[in-house]
Structure 1
């Protein structure tokens, strides 16, 4: 007999009847001509009447531009459907919705330096970038790249680029030269923006040599360097940011662009080969982000949005789109746990943040540090906490409600670089349950398929999207026959987007929740039974003795055995007694099939620059296979700890 779980958070009457999500549901009811009594009704209407839904999103979110008459030019091929085919739109115009002294951006670094800019001044600065790019003969479709930390100038450069219809692409400055070339080298940028240094973990990291090397290899027509300290940079042949802006003429008119005009190029992690260059369109990113900020996050003009991200992660693009609401965005550059684990909670109080975004790993780190933000900080302005990057552990939900804030709307979100947005996320209209993403994204026909391509509920399977959606990528760069594009998403199920997540839909009264059990390409298969890696991490990472872990499946004796690598906490050794405790914890919390056959220690776990652990790369090393793109890793030398282990022979 199954028991109904108790919600950790329930929407009150004010949440249900006030705010943007409630107002949108009321407008949708008028269009539907029938009551939409709960979130499931609203979601069902949004996917059965997609043209009415997305048309309403455009109007409700007050997108600027010429919408045109048609919402959809349909095609029998999923990826060839065209949304708003007659529209003309500009991202920069939509992200500069107000012209006043209201603060648009606040930039903070780990050392405490703080800068801010108003919407009026942001509009002026972005217009200066647009004017200078146009004067340099940058045209719509040309690529402009940023090798930049997360600061105000990065947003200004991206807005100026979008203003004239050029394509923006960025990498975090913690990428090495080869990692940047793996990305920017494919798209051949005409202009490169760079900062000559950044702060991390109490140190200033100089970038002059890297920028010089990138300039020589990429040979952009323009190199503009933003000095990180002082007013000048030592990079040869570079234009100074301030001088370059000061020489700008009058800003051009916003370029009126098709809905699917390329806006951003983002990159896959690249751990199994050269990174895929994923091209996202102007309208798709804009309307999807506006929907998520307003209808799922209830973000408004008086709110303050923060997300800890680098400029090499799609959450930076998502964060910047928060400007469309007229809210204030807070940018942070540096180590989020410097000088201690509560640093970002200081920022919440200082900046009166209402919507705070971070990673599941950060939440775990705060918990393991023994911090109790509820006692040490005010947090009175904080309403919503977003988490992504990996599944938020059940125990992390408990920590957030017990030790951070009891009335917090915890929105675990999941999607990714491929769609520059979310397939499942939160909503103030539905309860929060332990271990679950609250709901499926509006307008997205999300389902879970079993191996036979049949939709299942309450069972694990492949996360899919069964119908076209505006944030589907426009293309992959240099993929003229769409072979790589098709192979990435449509090889498994005909004309259905397969996302690569191993997931489970959990039905509730009035809505469906979602649990992510890990990446489907990293699923373990001992004895022919599929096991999600997240189920093991959930158990291991609750142990105080373990700082972090990574699990892979090893081909062994005609089967697959589960191998767990752990990084013990400081001063802890992996003894037989601790191994027994790990196995007992996994057996009790998951199942006997989840129990690892082998448990080994390593000093560190390899990660991508955006912080994600790389199970596939470790699996290759364990099997003696070459890892094809080590440049995608922040710490590629860590792979050596997994090679030639006699315990795995």
Structure 2
């Protein structure tokens, strides 16, 4: 079935795109001509030395590349890029020191704060001097238990200027959730807010800090940011002082940028932790610079003066990705709070107010806006928005319809996929090409993507495992504390030799794009046929009575049967007629194999802190197995709705 084109860029937009300029720069540098993106992509994966050198030059990376571009390129893991190079993250982000905006911030409870490039530089310089006075040096860890506010950006940049390693978690984690993460990496400094707001209520953090500090003997200093209370009492928190008092002795001035090895650690990010202790994923300084420069400037067409927004917490890698747009001399737009308080218009209001050019969100947000009947195309201007980004879960074809019918017709809708594991994207946007309904446009430059069957062979036109068959700079340095590298190897490389298996169930399309069907470890194997969960969600969530759904496989009679749980909209009940309609819609829209054997109603669905539903945790509960890390969930109490269900006993 032919894919339906939803949008295509005009000639003026193509000619002005950074991707077009990059193609010309590569031609001028190497004498290679590219007729289209496919040719450019093939060159990028077959000639990595030339490609990544051109990225360095085109994006004006500040640092010393050294003599070797890639060493052991065929080894996964093991390949390293720019092994002789040196760089400082801040030198690449703090390029300017003028009075134009570079951070725009709004909080749910009405707080508004903007910073210019000069103000950001001054704040970073003061905190960096305070850190140096504290005795921090390259390699020390600085942790942030913070909402998505400007101070979090300042803290990251101050730490990175010295060569420290920065790690962050959102403030909705409880004490154990924080210790499960930060406790593994032994930070010397913890930065935390007194409280944050969400969905109209104040959520305190200060009362958790004594237990957190007591659980981390490595801590030498706790910095409290007054976010809700302008004068919080920090006397009960060991080693604590307010951020303002900590910075007070230090005047603004120049920043001493400590250049470190290109592959020295910059960030520690965490896996969701829903199947055990979170993995501490370490990413390097240079790989973050290069990966984000490529994705911002080329795939997202970010230009100086643009305003880049992604709805995220500081516990999701999209925060790190968004802040990295400072290197493209774009302003970073931050929001903290609920995207539906007081109603679903709040982020679209913000897009107009802040003149956002790249509006990033989640597939679930787009779906929720559609279910709420929002039509921003009729109620908002949105003329500044050039690109809408979506990630976090599968954006179904109806989500594409919603954006183009009800948000904006002339916009580049870039559904992207990658993640915490690589601090970026495997598959994403191409501003030179059309957008097709339900498809991610193309593999990203420098990423040799393929689809493997169970035998490890490439397949076209069939569903299979998403893999990357060539090395790339943002492969993790490793997992913190995994000295032998065994956990790191098993996470990505154990299934296929020298190939990264990402864990997504996907299929190439005839346009050269890709369709995602959900996580491969959550696929349903019913009657020997693997079924992607997204295929079922797409059908069920079209029904007016259904708010949301989650599907798992239940071991039954020496096979696996499909079990569907639905959250009903107010005023609806799971009647026999509705069950018949659900099965009919799934049979017609997917296949008879997708039809659930059992359907049950639940009031809520468990999800991670970043909003992803947790199919594996629900599957464990259905089978009577314990969920090992409930602290990783935003609403762990929702798991109880799936326990001992009578519908599943027969």
What range describes the TM-score normalised by the shorter chain of this pair?
Answer: over 0.9
The structure 1 residue matched to 2:318, chosen from 294, 310, 315, is: 315
Contact 1:196/1:211, CA 8 A, preserved across alignment:
no
- Distance across 2 between alignment mates of 1:316 and 1:558: 44
Shift of 1:184: 0.6
Q: Which residue number in structure 2 is paired with residue 560 of structure 1?
A: 560
Distance (Å, rounded) in 2 between the aligned partners of 1:132 and 1:646: 60
> In structure 1, which of residues 171, 185, 188 is the aligned counterpart of residue 186 of structure 2?
188
User: Residue 100 of structure 1: which of 88, 93, 98 is its match?
Assistant: 98
- The answer as to 2:493 corresponding to 1:495 is no
Deviation of residue 455 (structure 1)?
1.1
Aligned partners of 2:196 and 2:228 also within 8 Å: no
Q: CA deviation at 1:35?
A: 2.6
> Is 2:140–2:187's contact at 8 Å kept on the other side of the alignment?
yes
Whole-angstrom CA distance in 1 between matches of 2:645 and 2:514: 37
Q: Distance in 2 between matches of 1:226 and 1:287?
A: 31
Q: 1:289 aligns with which of 289, 292, 295?
A: 292
Q: 1: distance between equivalents of 2:74 and 2:355?
A: 48
Distance, in Å, in 1 between the alignment partners of 2:327 and 2:491 is 31
Q: 1:566 to 1:413 in 2, by over 3 A?
A: same
- Separation in 1, partners of 2:480, 2:32: 44
Select 2:258's aligned residue among 255, 259, 266: 255
The Cα shift of 1:41 comes to 0.6
How far did residue 75 of structure 1 move? Answer: 5.3
Summarize deviations over 1:81-117 as a string: whole Å, max 9, x none.
1101111101111111111011010110112221011
Cα deviation code 1:415-474 (max 9, x no counterpart): 011001000010111110000011100001111111111111221111011011001000
Alignment match, 2:63: 65
2: CA distance, partners of 1:85 / 1:228: 41
Q: How do residues 66-215 of structure 1 correspond to structure 2 at under 5 angstroms?
A: 66-74=64-72, 76-215=74-213
Distance in 2 of aligned mates of 1:391 and 1:359: 9
1:362 aligns with one of 340, 365, 385: 365
Task: Indicate the residue corresponding to 1:225 in structure 2.
Answer: 224
Instruction: Name which of 9, 12, 18 aligns with 2:10.
Output: 12
Report whether the alignment pairs 1:330 with 2:330.
no
Which string of whole-angstrom CA distances, capped at 9 and with x for unpartnered residues, describes residues 34-61 of structure 1? 4311111110010010110000001101
Question: Aligned partners of 1:455 and 1:520: how far apart in 2?
Answer: 16
Question: 1:229/1:110 Cα in 2 relative to 1: closer, same or farther (>3 Å)?
Answer: closer
How far has the Cα of 1:6 moved from its partner? 2.9
Q: Does 1:601 align with 2:601?
A: yes
1:32 deviates by 4.8
Distance of 2:320 and 2:198 partners within structure 1: 22
Equivalent residue, structure 1, for 2:414: 411
CA displacement, residues 292-351 of structure 1 (integer Å, 9 cap, x when unaligned): 000001101121111000000000000000100111111000001110011100001101
Q: Give the counterpart of 2:477 among 445, 452, 474.
A: 474
C-alpha RMSD of matched pairs (Å)? 1.1
CA distance in 1, matches of 2:381, 2:119: 31
- Does residue 274 (structure 1) correspond to residue 272 (structure 2)? The answer is no
**Residues in 1 aligned to 2:212 and 2:76: alpha-carbon distance in whole angstroms:** 38
Which residue of structure 1 aligns with residue 540 of structure 2? Answer: 540
Q: Distance in 1 between matches of 2:305 and 2:145?
A: 31
Contact 2:26 2:32 in 1 (8 A): no
Cα distance in 2, alignment partners of residues 491 and 246 from structure 1: 51
- Secondary structure (helix, strand or coil) at the match of 2:368 reads helix
Alignment match, 1:239: 241
How far is 1:26 from its partner?
Answer: 1.4
Contact 1:223/1:239 (CA < 8 Å) preserved in 2? yes
* Mapped contact 1:393–1:538 kept (Cα < 8 A): yes
**What is the rounded CA distance, in whole Å, between the counterparts of 2:541 and 2:249 in structure 1?**
54
Cα distance in 2, alignment partners of residues 276 and 596 from structure 1: 33
SS in 2 for 1:209: helix
Q: Which residue of 2 aligns with 1:452?
A: 455
Cα pair 1:507 1:513 within 8 Å, conserved: yes
In the alignment, the residues of structure 2 paired with residue 6 and residue 79 of structure 1 have an alpha-carbon distance, to the nearest angstrom, of 39
Distance 1:320 1:25 in 2: 26
Any idea what the Cα deviations from partners look like across 1:15-37, whole Å, max 9, x if unmatched?
22222111001122334534311
Matched residue count? 644
Q: Secondary structure at the match of 2:5?
A: coil
Specify the SS of the correspondent of 1:418: coil
Q: Distance in 2 between matches of 1:10 and 1:225?
A: 48
| Superposition deviation, residue 230 in structure 1 | 4.4
SS at match of 2:7: coil
- Give the Cα separation in 1 of the matches to 2:228 and 2:626: 41
Q: Is the 8 A contact 1:15 1:22 kept in 2?
A: no
Quote the offset at 1:252 in angstroms: 5.1
CA contact (8 A) 2:274 2:633 kept: yes
Q: Is the 8 A contact 2:505 2:517 kept in 1?
A: yes
Q: For residues 514-545 of structure 1, give each alpha carbon's deviation from its aligned partner in whole angstroms, at most 9, with x where no partner exists.
A: 11110010010000000000111111111111
Structure 1: unaligned runs, 5 residues or longer: none
Counterparts of 2:570 and 2:341, CA distance in 1: 18
List structure 1 runs of 4+ shifted beyond 6 angstroms: none
Deviation of 1:130 (Å):
1.2
Which TM-score applies when normalising by structure 2?
A: 0.98
Quick one: distance in 1 between partners of 2:128 and 2:642?
A: 49
Q: Secondary structure at 1:15's aligned position in 2?
A: helix
Aligned to 1:551: 551
Supply the distance in 2 between the matched residues of 1:63 and 1:267 (Cα, whole angstroms).
27
- Does the Cα contact within 8 Å between 2:74 and 2:470 map onto a contact in 1? no
Q: Deviations over 1:571-624 (max 9, x none)?
A: 110001111111111111111111101000111001111111110011011111
Query: Following superposition of structure 1 onto structure 2, how do residues 513-592 of structure 1 map, counting pairs within 5 Å?
Result: 513-592=513-592
Distance 2:313 2:620 in 1: 28
Determine the structure 1 residue equivalent to 2:214: 216
SS of 2:177's equivalent in the other structure is: helix
